[in-house]
Amino acid sequence: MAQAITDADFEAEVLKADTPVLVDFWAEWCGPCKQMLPIVEELAGEYEGKVKIVKVNVDENTEAPGKFNVMSIPTFIIFKDGEPVTTFVGAKSKEDIVQELNAVS
């Protein structure tokens, strides 16, 4: 299952992670975010141990989305070695996300 994180633990969970991290910036009221939820959860199971998958609620956490210029949701950013390496916005197919994850893992 994708782990919910906050601004307070963003650095420890994402920037200092030993593996690549896919961050899902989302909000409860966002239709496309809800559409992506089953895909994100599937990927969290499939990539366990290879890629950490976390979720940041942008309504409850504003620091990380601001720092990484999240203007629309859902926004997905893949971090590797503490740096953002790929960003994509909006609903994507599972295959598209798998391709991005395989490129960094």
DSSP for 4-64? EE-HHHHIIIIIT-SS-EEEEEE-TT-HHHHHHHHHHHHHHHHTTTTSEEEEEETTT--HH
Q: Beta-carbon neighbour count of residue 95 at 10 Å?
A: 9
Q: Check 14, 23, 33, 77 and give the catalytic one.
A: 33
The answer to whether 77 is a known catalytic residue is no
Q: Check 4, 17, 30, 91 and give the catalytic one.
A: 30
The answer to whether 59 is a known catalytic residue is no
The residues annotated as belonging to the active site are 30, 33
